[in-house]
Structure 1
Amino acid sequence: MKLFRAALPALAMTFLLAGCAADSGSVGNPVFRPFQWFSYANGDDIREQCTAGRNARYRLIYNAIYDEQVRTYDIVQVAPSGAAVQTTNVFRGGTIGADWLLGQVSGSGARAGNYSRVDISLDDLVAIEQALIRSGFEKPAIRGQILHSDEFYWIAMVCREGNFKYYAWTDRNADVAKLPFREVLAKGDETGAAFVEPYTPTVFGRSSRYYTAGRGGTYFTMQIGDNGIIR
């Protein structure tokens, strides 16, 4: 797919959903966390406003075992300069509560100190775009790919000029530890939270979509369709 390669020269050229859909990263009450997390991880808010003339938006998610560490990177291009704002959050999935959004806005609450909002240059944004291309982002999403919450994986999604693209990487289709965009995202990450490196986890029984894993953890899966999560 040549959409994103061709769009590089045109780089110089946010979101509320109702109900269960994600709202700027909010995942609400822990009882409903998986459903709202799926909405955020599927980019439902980005898809709804992905129309020609809107600022380009990027979202990348690193799942380093959901209950151990999740890193989210939301990037919005700022017209007409072509520069962008990168919002980074680092947290343990099992600790997400109703103050998730408030923590982003105020830097207070359960995740104080694990949030940053940084202006990045057009050159930085182009570097992210090129790193995505080198990582295989232009390929079609792998239909049927399973993302396990107790494993390591990356998700990326981009909307530009009304075109939405989605892709995921696990250790079954990539070297998750060495994907090129990790380094360029780090430039706009001022959370100070150490990056949890991939390792081979101890996997407890997987008998259903949701179950309480060992040590009080949470387990669920997400399955990739043509261009996002199947629900």
Structure 2
Amino acid sequence: MLKLILLSVLGVMGLALPLTLILTAKEKPKIPGVLLGAAFYLTANLFLNVFKNAWSLNLDTPISTVFYLITAVLTWTLTAALFFRRSRPASLGRVSLIYGGYALINTFVVTMAGTSPLIQYGLLEVSGQTAQLPAASAAILSAAYASLGPLELVLALIELILVFLILAQLFRRMLTEKTVKRLSEFGLGLFLLMMIQYGKWGMLVSFIAYGMELAGLLALSKRKELKS
């Protein structure tokens, strides 16, 4: 039951973070900014899926993983250039709406692909109704559900919050900066983030790396505020 509760909290938190950002933003109207962020995510994801299928990108080996990460970062950065290269520096409220729309769609995709099936399986397991699932699906979901412990889910929740905050800072720098290098900074920050996520560094090293990247981005934002 504890595992099911933590899984549900993880799913709810993934939606609560971007919704809070959107609802508390002072920018009005809200819908255009949210739709812009959602369109950015969907377009970049579409391009990346095309490249994945065309080039058979995978994460099987360290070399293939690095190639995938480079392709992903270039795809997201070039799509950002397509959407935001000519845009004027945005207010923090508009940044919140754009990033909120991006994060909301991203959460929906992740929830539909991963969290939601596990929650449904957990509910069936608690009620003793897993027999109604097809044997193949039940075996896969059972193995995935059994591999998750309370500690792993708590750490996943912390990781979700850290990644959300890091991406928020990356979007803020990309959308509020006037310099031409803002897109390259966005790409570099995204590459570092994905290296942490996809690299097999161990939980302690990964969390230290998340903290260092977030601290660095916050320091850059603070320095910009002091200069202005």
Q: TM-score, normalised by structure 2?
A: 0.26
Structure having the higher strand fraction is: 1
Identify which of structures 1 and 2 has the higher relative contact order when contacts are C-alpha pairs closer than 8 Å and 6+ apart: 2
Structure having the higher helix fraction is: 2
Higher Cα Rg, which structure = 2
Q: TM-score, normalised by structure 1?
A: 0.26
